[in-house]
Amino acid sequence: MRVLAIESSCDETAVALFDGRSGKLLAHRVHSQTDVHAEYGGVVPELAARDHMRRLPSLTRATLTDAGVGYDAIDAVAYTAGPGLAGALMTGAAFAKGIAASRRVPALGVNHLEGHILAPLLGDDPPAFPFLALLVSGGHSQLIEVREVGDYRLLGESIDDAIGEAFDKSAKLMGLGYPGGAALSRLAEQGDPTAVPFTRPMVNRPGLDLSFSGLKTAVANAIAAGHAHEDVAASFERTVIDTLVIKLTRALDQTGLDRLVVAGGVAANRPLRQRLVEMMAERGGAVHFPAIELCTDNAAMIALAGYRRLAAGERDALPGFRVRARWPLAELELPRMLDSAVPVTP
């Protein structure tokens, strides 16, 4: 079963083609809209939707050309149905449904967060179920117990800013532009991570929730107090990582899990990767990351998540489509076969 996937939940337009039988990603392309939104200092939803529409046809054509196949090779279409920006989601969903309907193949709306946490399954070292997932991006910071595909329990999440958001906002305070999270991390390499004694948020409270808006304020104060930007950046990054290590240790102890999956844009952060590798080695467990290029939003992960459900016989319940700006992972269910659907051989 070859699945074409379309992702358009925020400011990346992405298309992928995945072959379920071989488990191989045949091709995937991502177009980032960063330039469209940079001058506004954040993602403008209407501009995002407009740009998705401009990019989708050529990006899809290029992806199929990369894979060396035509539309007749597509057995099913998966698309991101949420969570995300409603207008942006609608554009990709309508486009995907048009392809699926006209080729008479099944379609399925996929949860973007499920895509992220299953992304490491596309790698050479896929994790076995169950595992603990840390989802860290510009929009989400969650700790999730993953029993199997479709069985998710939210253990904790940020009560305010997402981690990626805290990186980007702190970067903005340092004049690193938008989105500046990655630039902040590069600047941090030159700084002293012990120079500014930031408080690690929420670590003295029980539970697994996170909070980063206070840290962002502390960054503003540290800059105002005259600390060198590279020292503030290094201290900020160290504080975030320390906090995550404390919460992850707690979550692993609580659940008894010994496998950790880290996904989302912030999973590309090298110091974070290194610390989590060390942490899991000390615990005698293992940590799995997606390939760097599959940490940020992409359609490969949507293709994989879609495939796992489509192959089980799951289909869109509606002939039309619905998108959900909010769609918590915990609401997902195991892949289910519609009464009318005929299972497709993988």
Residues binding another protein (CB under 8 A): 39-40, 44, 46-47, 49-50, 53-54, 56-58, 60-61, 71, 74, 86-87, 90-104, 318-323
Is the Cβ of residue 91 or residue 298 nearer to another protein in the bound state? 91
Burial of 269 (0-12, 13-18, 19+ CB in 10 A): buried
Tell me how far apart the terminal alpha carbons of the chain are, to the nearest angstrom: 5
Inter-residue contact 33 to 56 (CB < 8 Å)? no
Inter-residue contact 31 to 176 (CB < 8 Å)? no
Give the nearest distance from C-beta 162 to another protein in angstroms: 22
Is the Cβ of residue 256 or residue 320 nearer to another protein in the bound state? 320
Q: Any residues with CB less than 8 A from the CB of 313 and at least 6 apart, and which?
A: 335, 336, 337, 338, 341, 342, 343, 344
Give the nearest distance from C-beta 337 to another protein in angstroms: 21
Is the Cβ of residue 37 or residue 238 nearer to another protein in the bound state? 37
Give the nearest distance from C-beta 12 to another protein in angstroms: 16
Give the nearest distance from C-beta 4 to another protein in angstroms: 9
- Kindly report the backbone phi and psi dihedral angles of residue 311, in degrees, each rounded to the nearest multiple of 5, phi listed first: -65, -25
DSSP state of 228: -
Is the Cβ of residue 81 or residue 268 nearer to another protein in the bound state? 81
DSSP H helices, 270-299, are 270-283
Determine if residue 80 is left, alpha or beta; phi over 0 gives left, psi from -120 to 50 gives alpha, anything else beta.
Answer: beta
Is the Cβ of residue 98 or residue 126 nearer to another protein in the bound state? 98
Give the nearest distance from C-beta 343 to another protein in angstroms: 23
